[in-house]
Amino acid sequence: MHELSICEAILRQVSAVAQTERAARVIRITLRIGPLAGVEPDLLRAAFPLVAAGTCCADVRLEIETAAVRVACRLCGAVSQALPNRLLCGACGSWRVALLEGDEMRIESVELPERIMEHV
């Protein structure tokens, strides 16, 4: 269950952004997770509130975008969709493909309140 470690990493990075923007809380975090990232979105959703309790992300809306797996064939040049455990060219069937998309594990954006905290 390495999703807990990943939640901690997300929280650290998002908290830094919120601090830079002088926001007291975070409304929404948008993540992008490909099927080949090795991260289970449902586990992440379950674990995040535990990690974020009492922080600026306590009531955050976690949005997780998933990506398709797409490969480019090194032999015939075709670009096609593939299954995570069958990374084969959709046109010629070769396994000599490069992954174009599908292993993303990225924090895309955060939504913060418009009002800025007063300087103390």
Partner 1 sequence: MCDICGCANATGHVHVAGAILHTESGKQVEVLQAMLRDNDHQAAHNRAHFDGAGVLVVNMMSSPGAGKTSLLEATIRALRGRMRIAVIEGDLETENDARRIRGTGAQAVQITTGNACHLDAGMVHAALHTLVLRELDILFIENVGNLVCPASFDLGQHKNVVLLSVTEGDDKPEKYPVMFRAADLLGITKTDLTEAVGDFQTLRALRHFRHLANPSPMLELSARNGDGMAAWLGWLAAERGRLRPAHAQHAHD
Cβ atoms of residues 107 and 40 within 8 Å: no
The one among 42, 50, 54, 86 contacting partner 1 by CB under 8 A: 86
Cα 84 to chain centroid distance, Å, stands at 17
Distance in Å, CB of 90 to partner 1, minimum: 13
Identify the three-state secondary structure at position 73.
strand
Distance in Å, CB of 67 to partner 1, minimum: 7
| CA–CA distance, 45 with 61 (Å, rounded to integer) | 10
The one among 65, 76, 81, 91 contacting partner 1 by CB under 8 A: 65
Residues 6+ apart with CB under 8 A from 53: none
Cβ atoms of residues 13 and 29 within 8 Å: no
- 76 is a contact residue toward partner 1 (CB under 8 A): no
Q: Encoding tokens for residue 76?
A: 């015939």
Looking at residues 12 to 51 of the shown chain, list those that interact with partner 1 (rule: CB under 8 A).
12-14, 17, 21, 27-28, 31-32, 36-39
Residues binding partner 1 (CB under 8 A): 1-2, 5-6, 9-10, 12-14, 17, 21, 27-28, 31-32, 36-39, 65, 67-68, 71, 84-88, 95-99, 105-114
